[in-house]
Structure 1
Amino acid sequence: MSMRSCSALFVVVCVGVFRSSFALLKPIPFPATLQECYEFRSYNMTPSAEVALEIQNFCYRNYKYKQIADGKIWSGPNITKEGLNYIDSLFRRLFIEARQVQTFKLKSKRQKRQARFPGRYRQEVRSPGAFRRFADCLGRLNNDRNRVEGSTVGRNRYQTLAAYHTGVVLRYAHGGPAFLPWHRIYLLLLETACGAPIPYWDSTLDHDMVDPTMSILWSEQYYGNGDGEVLNGPFQNFRVVPSRPLTRDIGTGNGALFTKEGLELVLSRRRFGEISEPKRGQDYIYSLEGHHNGAHTWVGGHLSLDSTAAFDPVFFMHHAYIDAVWAVFREQQIQNGINPERDYPRQTPPGHDAYDFVDFRPYLRVVRNIDGMSNYFADLVRYEPFPTCENNCNRSPHIYCSRRRARCISEERPRTRAMGTRAFGARAMRERVSPGMEENSFAGAEALAVPSDARMRAVSKGPIQGGSKFRASPFRDTRNRNETIGNAPVASALSAFSARVREARVRRDTSVQLKNVTNTHTITHKQSISSLERSFTNTFILDGEVDLKRWVYAPVRIVYKRSFDIQGHDPTSHTHKHLDSACHAVQSGATKVFVGSDGLDYSGTYKEYGIVDERQPVSVITTAIGVKNPDYGEGRVLLTSYDSCGRACRPLCLTSVDGRQTYKQCSGTFKISSALPKMYSETYRDAVALSDWETRNVLELESFDVTPIVTFICDNVNSWPWDYQNL
């Protein structure tokens, strides 16, 4: 990859006179449906590069869905038209409701009388009326007769939704800042399918018990038993693919339920990046995802394994609480003058970039991580305050205020002598709580020491084949006992189930893989530099086939101009200190510009980036983008680009004007053909070398045989970055 800086005068030379060939990528008319969408979404709006990027994303995903629904492009072997329509209907319902809430929000500012909130109101699971409605709707989704894809597919609606949290997609849902927006969208989808708000499980109320395993939640009135196979309660008939009954092993693992101390630590931070992964060392105590891990491992069984966790409905109630904590954190940010919609870390693990898609394959990639941070989704939900003694523990009959500790604590489920009943009464047990609770650490072990039918059933089936466990939480609970069930590698049936709805990922080639090995979970004082060295791992899937030979690489030029925004600030300058901006400088002088290719008549997406010098007024670089190999048939592709500040870049296509080759603004849509001479290479490195004019005399540009067919201009001009004209 080459990099150089040049003056504004040299930019004219850079994009001016070139010899041209339209052999590989030939500009073509913009698809009519895309143009209609662009014009509708931008109608009567002031041009903005950031809004332009949102319009491009929105219109392309709708265009792609229509192509899939019409059977014009590959959609995957496990995606039925009924399944696509179902998932699309959930998103459409979600977006309609979001618009209604925004309208309500706008009207509420104008009117004194408050109308009824049209969104979702999530209560603590033990609050009156909160649990039963949700449990009933999950029962309907889990009914095998209530399928959306037909009996031959082998899963009900709940299992279809639970399958999202399996397989390769987990790396983009965990271990980075995308964790919270990803799961927020996931909760909203399940809630939309269910038709009832998800109650949140405040597990701090259980942790403060003498024996958390005796919480009333682990009774048939709520979650059902937690000591092996779930044999009672509303979730007793739930199954994990392929057919194993839902299993738990509460009071085990190497973590703790969420604690009041952990909540205080998370809320003591100011920036979103401070509570987001990856975290190591002392900073881990501030990680919201880290504290979230504790409940997963404490419940044990299927919930403790990342590939099977979502098959237990407790998953969604636990994550509703994590989302509620994030909502409180966002309110604090607003009070501190920080915009939570734009406070996204700039240095992220692969797949967790602000403008990476929230990955819900095999269905459409609908929103990006930064979209999940927006009030558009946050405003859909309101939360009942966390139970406190001041609010009478939300008036729940199953939560009481401990006078000694001034905290709300969960009531116990009924005890029997076989379960370790003490001679003293229930009230005495409730008040016998100390801050450390070490002296009571035997309680959980004794309560579950007597073998039960549920545990013996679970143990007889052997370790759960669900893969790896969640990482340990920052705090440990010394009361936890040893596991009795254990885990094993993911079952082949579950792997096949996940593989049918996921796309495998491979690296470009061995040399690139070795060159770009990096520990994305380590934070050092050189984070800003190391993050620039990370590469993307593209899927290399084209029409359902993982095959490097199906891809070729075409050179693309980027002209990056540092310029001022409408407030007079330079958004790309490292001296710009507006902390609520999405464009935080890394203080190194380098930043990324991203280029993407999206198939218009084939199923394939590729993403690459170039590194520019943001200290210079203008930087020019060359990178390469993967497109369909025309040896496998001609294709049409849409090329787009944006910088690290979220500004969409304008495409300029090589054309002829009065007999002279020059660049003109275009739509970025191209036809890929195999006509000679070929303007591509089978490898990324060779493609960049094709247009490596860095070492050549800039006065001899006209002698080049191969020139990038498209140049992207990244600046702040006051116009939309697309043009529909034919060249």
Structure 2
Amino acid sequence: MKLIILALFASFWICNGMIEHIPLPGGLVDCFSRYSEKTNVVDTVGESIASFCFGQYMWQASRELGLPGFNITREAYNWAQSLLPKPISHRHTRQAISPNLRIRKEYRRLTDFERANFHRAVQLLKADTSVAPTMYDALSSIHQGMITTSAHGGPNFLGFHRVYLIMFENALRTKVPSVTVPYWDSTLDEPLINPTQSILFTDSFLGNGFGMVNRGPFAGWTTLSGPLIRNIGQAGSLFNADAMARIVSSIRLAQITEPNAPVNSSLEFLHNQVHLWVDGQMGSLDTAAHDPIFWLHHSYVDYIFELFRQNQRRFGIDPTTDYPVFVNNSMHMAMYPMGLAGLRNIDGFNDRFTSMIYQYEPSPRCSLRFPDCGSPYLRCVVNGFQPRCVSVDWSGASRVSVIRQQFVNNAVQGQRMQAAVRLNMLNTARRQQAQVTIQNQMRMSQQQRILANMQRQQIQLKEVENAGLDDPSEPSQMQRRSVHRRMKRSFKRRGFTYLPYDPRGSSFVNSKLNINSNIQLKMLPPMNPNVPRNIQNASEGTFMPPSMPSDMCPAIPVTQGYQNTFNINGRSDINQWVYIPVKVIYQRPPTYNNYASYPIVNGEMEAEDIYFPNTAMKNVMPTGKPASYPHCQAQESGAGKVFISSQGINYMGTYKEYAVVDHRLAISIATAYVAVKSPKLGASQVFLNAYDSCGRICQPFCKLAGVAGFQRCSGAFRVTSGFPKHYGTNYGDAVTHLWQFSKVDSCPIMQDNNIYIQFHCNFKESWPFGMRPAASGQGGNAAALDEIEEPELSGGQANAPPTACRVGNGCIISNGCNNCVHGTTYPCIGACDMYSSCQNGFHHVQRCPDNTIFNQDEGQCLAGACPNNSNAWWHKTIDWK
């Protein structure tokens, strides 16, 4: 009997080990709660919310927790500050535009010479060690939460990065005086079926996009966070033209900035998705500036910001004074110091920058009449009968040298044509102008008739498709095939590629483009400002931009690896990490229900796939349709990825791994090994998050102390170095720890007791992290789940009144849980720099900024310092280290 009891006790101890569940930090839950009020996982991709909130939390927490950052000397910081203009007196009147402005262009609109100069200037900054560690590294070190806490999470996001870009641009111009920072308009890549094949990620532009950057102008770079790494296209999304138009058409700054902007109009929120799409150093705010693509991305953000400001003026709004009154952090207030060259936040909105220093060349556009995007690396294509400029992809990169020569030849032809036109125009300019105008009008009329006819044909096809969608009969199928053949012939005669209509809503058949070497495009000579545009185009004949085929699968192969930086607190070393096994239980997505595997009954084939969920299956496994990334597509094999990321709470470091799952099966199970900071360096507090390749969040389940089986949890836990260990010091140790290999010829046995956390990917339409109110009598508590226990009372908390309410993160208030008045603040018992803010019936724990304490009478943080008492409760109950 004693042996049985000891065995049960040992089993219980091994299940829980030295990994224990902890509540999410109050600041993180605060962000989750705020976004749960703004949107939901049906309208917004869950992973985009999770990554944005955690990035914002760690940006501020790194300073509050005193985490090590990337070193920058006082001399380097002073040098960086000297690159900026002198402090600006904020004027309300618009300044005159200087005639000698720098012009920032889209990256692909640079000439080869201009692009080479930009690359050379960046390389020279990286090589210059007169400012330690290098000029480039000194500038990139400024973009971290330890130094610039107000650069993210509020309206100063736009002003700070505008000033930061000028600092970088001025540094470049000390090396190559003619250089400006180009911008990367990712809306030119987003329409591609596979944006990872954009020509941007070739040797002539930014270098490779997968793994360590070992090609291109930045090949072999060693950054302050280790080798330069990218993992493009595996999470996040690029800018969308519709979203940018929505932002530009807004008229108030509060409508496009945090914390007031709707999710789909928040420029900061949307910009974060591009960071995730590039990943590697770009995936973390503290290391993003280590990759040169950071500057190009933020230059485009600034370009959109400038278009928005121009729109404000059309409505009579002064963009230099339209700063939001309500901000969620005092450091984002208009008059708060920006932290750059003595500027205030409001100074980042001064007109001086775009009237005296730089302006933007408009993003490339094209039309049926003028189908030239002004670059051999861009193509004018038709998408839904709307011509637009789209990037060339690298499958055509082998033709770049040919294209460049052809572009030069066309330029020579254009110059010859210019001379001929000048001679002819001396006597017959008006007559030629009239003839060309009539010809263009006739061509445009003909094109409009063609487009109208094709639109009518597509409408007819939709009607036929919809009418026969549920009719599997042979006559119906033959009728639809006949219509498709007629449409294909009709489009081919007019120079278009036919994109078949998909009535089930295939996302890439109608909207995504694939530009590859199989498409023969007609090159036009560059536009010459000295020659009338209609005369230049008249000599070229009728041009019809091609529509692009959709025969390429856009999904990234499951064999495509993922490269981590292995960086913790500014140091990259795999020996700082340990591996924890994670189980993934994956439920088939609701959109996957046919794999051409049909049952046969009495010799006859049935119409319904055997994998199609029947009624009984739907009852026990209900699914919803949470939002997914726009590039989300299926693998032809039926395999998919579930990513699991670990993000440090008391350290700066992120690790990501993925498990391969089977879309065909109703339920599939996979395992992965995710790294966290080694507890030998101190107890590790970490947040685990899982999502599929479409960005749909999975539900975390943990083994909680005293509770059998797996229970819903927050995904946050603490790992210590005590025994028994539930991790491996390396990947191999983690595998042998999870699997029992008793004999050479025996089948390995999984040791389920060594799995502490698992994720259920079930496509629920609810946010998986704990933001629900506590049980009856506990009031609204957004900081902890019902299962999470608060720390025991100590110090000043021990004298808490009976009506005290635990509001999470070690904060206890005396007013009771049921007396939460919106907009009211409550001091935490025994604390001097923590308080609870009531928002919409929920308590949110807040910590005052450095060198401030909470003043109960004023209800806000004021200048002051907490008593240096090591016995105080706030040094005991929260183990920040």
TM value normalised by structure 1:
0.49
Higher relative contact order (CA 8 A, sep 6+): 1
Report the TM-score when normalising by structure 2. Answer: 0.41
